[in-house]
Chains A and B, each alone.
Chain A
């Protein structure tokens, strides 16, 4: 006897199943949007829990020797200037510096908790390895390198595709491209800017040269970004102020820069020609220029300003230039690359400017050691970052039990206090408002919100453009934005799903815990006893606990400690 279901009941069950399925889909989609259940890698934070990679580097004698050498040089340098060193910073302070440098925000509470499962001595190194594998690192450093290599302007319209260029850089970093390979790809780029993203290095200059690569701008860019030399003044005249000198061809002594040095470098880029639908291709060097004090324009041949013996004789002009810049013996180019990475790690370059390391001036010895190590190990950006981040220069505390002077900061006896850049403030603010790490596995809603909020915040805070390492002073609009701005308000509003402030109010076991967690989320440290006593007392005696937690977080976000790397 077969079981027969009445047709009405059957339709009811089918309808129920459909609606249940539909409800499940809606709930899943909502959950995905708001809470990021789509975490792709459940072990993302415990990847280095066994700190195997850390151990590998700690047992790499070569790596260890380089770090030791840098530390010794720093000690000698301090002794020479009769300065004492501050002690080593605590692990969480070092981790904050790493996060700010590599992903542009502070450490999330989620990351702190994962690191706390490791022995104290391994936490900073494990955090470093986590960050280097993090897609946020690829994105963030692509944006930083992009600023140095193509500037910040959106023009020229159509022929310059910033997003494609950034995406290409992001992929190159993610795929562990050697630095010299990236540089060569930019200088020798061929094809259409839409098809070959690296061509945008050239097309960004089209606007000032009638839809052709502008050799003048490319020479200035190349010199600053890849050689660490600001030779712009030589475009118009010989150096008469002693600002720009080049090493003599015999390697002994220096000579003053000449106008021809600039234009001979520019001549390499006259070989890049845009031919419409086929994009940029190679042709012969064809450059004429009328020098100051000259009666007429004259042909200018392609030549490099120093170490001319390293320039290959054969091959296309741009390939020869790329080979010269990336030649292992071109030490100036290597220290320029190291200085940029150094500036991104510590927030300020060696020397006054990130793209100005005069050849006739002396630089700290550790810069040369880092450059040699960089070249000897295949222009590996990650290794360079690891060496810097492991050295005492990076790990020393920013406070001491002796009186700190500007000399201590200048000579790295202490970690220098450096103002955070606008994108670091925005990133830290967005991260502080969330307990979990904000990354590409976060909910789509949160990622979209982060993208919009960050761009808007940086625009209003004042984007520093290419001069992002210039030390500026705080401005009134910046303070107003932090005190009354939309992003801060959104970060502190009562949002039980997303915001730290609501989580603290709902789930913290005690007032003491609220204060501790607020400090860890915002400032990446525990409160001092004075701070704990004060704010615990406030929370204990408040009539509106939620409001007081909001006020506490507002104060932490508006403190100078939040806005400075230390």
Chain B
């Protein structure tokens, strides 16, 4: 049972105080740990902890992808009036004691819904490699292409929808891929929702399309199948079934989820009236229609030059869109089943370069998350306001450092996916879904 508090925060209502009572989940967790049971028992306990009253609800993800690497100092981890802080000011948020950059005033008002990790560290400082790392939780390797979180989530899902279950809006350099799970789990790419989805509308009228696909195509297919594999269509090409599914999608009512033009003008303005804002509206509509993962990309954060002004203009796009998305999901009771993740491939250097820019910095950057079992109103880790910046010890300036892999393990756990489960890749190699460690403090258990 959920109840909304006066300050807008939402907490789980309990009959008794969990801090002073043993309940089933705690007991199971303690007994598992206390008795030194196997890791399997611990994982079972964790899964049980996460299985709340809404356990039957499917979990969804909305990834707001800030491509180019946003500066943590100009967004979620400001250090005003310090040498590294630049011209950025900080403002108070709805989460007592936590400040954000003054460039994100609306997001600041929704911080009570969010978990903010300020101590993420990675091993990649190059865009493409870091994008791969952050999206998949694995460093790039020639031997194996890893799936993104959305692809893993969809591969777990048995539900069928007419529309794709994994969508990438305004896809940038590297939209999420299915990796070893296969191209079937690649994100379906669409542009600005202000325009119709490409290729979804037939270029000929229905009767012509029907004649093409239902009457004529079968003539050619029958001749091609003659003398070949006995079950050519079902065991090899899947051509006709894919065509039939494409036709179904073209005529599905669910496709209207991509179209945000029927949203009230006030809603569109609240989201910022930008392509990214419209992408966020479409993301929530798609989740409601049955899509499991939507990523919306906001590009242009690679601020080697004029970092401050560049972030100012991009934050004007991000701020209304992110905050309105959180409010909308919360209002529609979707935040309990939908995890919002806002991240880029890395952060930016504490030092400001001669061109008034900041360069790539994977040694302490921020990731914002909200929804599902992610703890609400919580900040984890911190970066030093006066870093020593010793190249030999890049993590010395970060308190409670966590890795990109840890973030992935935590996200998968919040989505109720066993992150340690070993998947067999097409080449027969067993591999865990994530090599990271769950950051238990982030989970609302």
Contact = CB atoms under 8 A, between A and B. Distances in A.
A153 to B, nearest CB: 5
Given A155-B127, A232-B141, A551-B216, A476 B238 contact: no
Interface stretch (A175-183, A267-275, A505-513, A556-564): A556-564
B220 A555 contact: yes
Given A208-B129, A232-B142, A559 B202 contact: no
B143 A233 contact: yes
A480 B199 contact: yes
B129 A473 contact: no
Interface stretch (B19-27, B104-112, B221-229): B221-229
A217 B331 CA distance: 48
Contacts of A455: none
B183 interface: yes
Interface string A530-561: 11001100100000000100011011101111
B219 interface: yes
Nearest to B142: A220
B242 A551 contact: no
B440 interface: no
Nearest to A460: B189
Nearest to B223: A528
B183 A473 contact: yes
Interface string A463-485: 01111001011111111110111
B359 to A, nearest CB: 13
B230 interface: yes
Contacts of B242: 474-476, 478-479
B126 A558 contact: no
B217 interface: yes
Contacts of B203: 484, 489
B183 A462 contact: yes
B311 to A, nearest CB: 21
Interface stretch (A162-170, A277-285, A310-318, A397-405): A397-405
A404 B230 contact: yes
B427 A558 contact: no
Given A224-B142, A473-B182, A551-B211, A155 B126 contact: yes
Interface stretch (B243-251, B264-272, B289-297): B243-251
Contacts of B222: 530
Contacts of A470: 426
A398 B228 CA distance: 7
A352 interface: yes
B143 A220 contact: yes
B183 A483 contact: no
Given A476-B188, A480-B250, A417 B229 contact: yes
Contact of A466 (B142, B188, B429): B142
Nearest to A235: B141
B184 interface: yes
Given A473-B238, A564-B237, A479 B243 contact: yes
Contacts of B237: 417, 419, 474, 560, 563-564
B127 to A, nearest CB: 6
Contacts of B223: 528, 530-531
A429 B129 CA distance: 33
Nearest to A464: B183
Nearest to B226: A399
A243 interface: yes
Given A208-B124, A473-B183, A480-B250, A467 B145 contact: yes
B44 interface: no
A390 B437 CA distance: 55
Interface string B240-264: 1011011001100000000000000
Interface string A226-247: 0000101100000001010000
Contacts of A243: 429
A460 B429 CA distance: 30
A556 B124 CA distance: 46
B208 interface: yes
Nearest to B209: A483
Contacts of A443: none
B128 A352 contact: no
A417 B237 CA distance: 9
A328 interface: no
Contact of B183 (A155, A475, A485): A475
B332 interface: no
Given A399-B228, A404-B228, A563-B239, A207 B188 contact: no
A484 B124 contact: no
A483 B143 contact: no
Contacts of A473: 182-184, 238
Interface residues of A, number: 70
A547 B211 CA distance: 12
A286 interface: no
Given A531-B220, A564-B237, A404 B199 contact: no
A475 B128 contact: no
A155 B128 contact: yes
B148 to A, nearest CB: 14
Contacts of A556: 220
Nearest to A483: B246
B202 A153 contact: no
A483 B203 CA distance: 9
Contacts of B226: 399
A470 B178 CA distance: 13
A153 B124 CA distance: 14
Given A353-B427, A399-B228, A417-B229, A472 B126 contact: no
Contacts of A531: 219-220, 223
A156 interface: yes
A473 B184 CA distance: 7
Interface in A116-142: none
Interface in A473-528: 473-481, 483-485, 489, 528
B199 A555 contact: no
Contacts of B217: 555, 558-559
Given A398-B228, A475-B183, A476-B188, A484 B142 contact: no
A406 interface: yes
A527 to B, nearest CB: 8
B202 A483 contact: yes
B202 A484 contact: yes
B212 interface: yes
Nearest to A561: B224
A233 B183 CA distance: 24
Interface in A173-202: none
B216 A474 contact: no
A558 B236 contact: no
Contacts of A564: 237
B128 A154 contact: yes
Given A417-B228, A551-B211, A479 B246 contact: yes
Contact of B201 (A233, A405, A481, A484): A484
Contact of B229 (A224, A404, A535, A561): A404
B150 interface: no
A63 to B, nearest CB: 32
A155 B232 CA distance: 41
B57 interface: no
B220 A477 contact: no
15 contacts: A399-B226, A404-B230, A406-B235, A417-B232, A464-B183, A470-B426, A473-B182, A477-B164, A479-B246, A480-B249, A481-B199, A528-B223, A535-B216, A555-B220, A561-B220
Interface of A: 151, 153-156, 207-208, 217, 220-221, 224, 230, 232-233, 241, 243, 352-353, 356, 398-401, 403-406, 409, 417, 419, 460, 462, 464-467, 470, 472-481, 483-485, 489, 528, 530-531, 534-535, 538, 547, 551-552, 554-556, 558-561, 563-564, 566
Given A154-B128, A207-B128, A535-B216, 10 more contacts: A232-B142, A405-B229, A406-B235, A462-B186, A476-B249, A479-B242, A480-B249, A484-B250, A560-B232, A561-B224
Q: Which 9 A-B pairs give the minimum distances between C-beta atoms? A: A399-B227, A207-B126, A560-B239, A232-B143, A479-B246, A480-B199, A472-B183, A561-B224, A559-B220
